[in-house]
Amino acid sequence: MDEKDLIKEAIKAREMAYIPYSKFGVGAALLAKDGRVFRGCNIENAAYPMTNCAERTAIFKAISEGVTEFSAMAVVADTDRPCSPCGACRQVIAELCGPEMDIILTNLKGDVLKVHSEDILPGAFLPKDLE
Ligand SMILES: O=c1ccn([C@H]2C[C@H](O)[C@@H](CO)O2)c(=O)[nH]1
Ligand SMILES: [Zn+2]
């Protein structure tokens, strides 16, 4: 699966967003090293802080299926700049996706910004800090 196809998967994931409060849909598509793709959308709740972002939905789906090795994730929203993951998602990405995963940030206009997971949360608190 190439980058364009992964972005298409994220766009499809966004269509499933449950967003009665913000009306702001986000889609993510997480490509596992075994070739499987896990789609995620944001899922909101009347108790607002319970909301789960698209990125974490995709990651938690994969982890819950026993899949732990990832090569790329695409994230899309209808934003002016390529959609930027929130701090909570950056923390989860840092722990569960490894330092070198490609993250393809994009928007519906087709702007693309590629980053690596290790670059989006400098100094992340990691499992080794608990040792
Ligand atoms: O990268 C992001 C940024 C925001 N959101 C969601 C959370 C909430 O449902 C809505 C507005 O913040 O967008 C994501 O899913 N991913
Ligand atoms: Zn988030």
The CATH code for residues 3-130 is: 3.40.140.10
| Region 47-75 average pLDDT | 98
Nearest CA to ligand 1 atom 6: 53
Indicate the pLDDT class of residue 64, thresholds 50, 70 and 90: very high
Does residue 71 sit in helix, strand or coil?
Answer: strand
**15-54 pLDDT tens trace:** 999 999 999 999 999 999 999 999 999 999 999 999 999 9
Mean pLDDT of 71-99: 97
Question: Among 46, 41, 39, 40, which residue's Cα sits nearest to residue 20?
Answer: 46
- pTM beyond cutoff 0.90: yes
User: Cα(60)–Cα(80) distance, rounded to whole angstroms?
Assistant: 27
Which residues lie with the beta carbon below 6 Å from any ligand 1 atom?
Answer: 19, 22, 24, 26, 42, 44, 51, 53-55, 75, 83, 85-86, 89
ipTM: 0.99
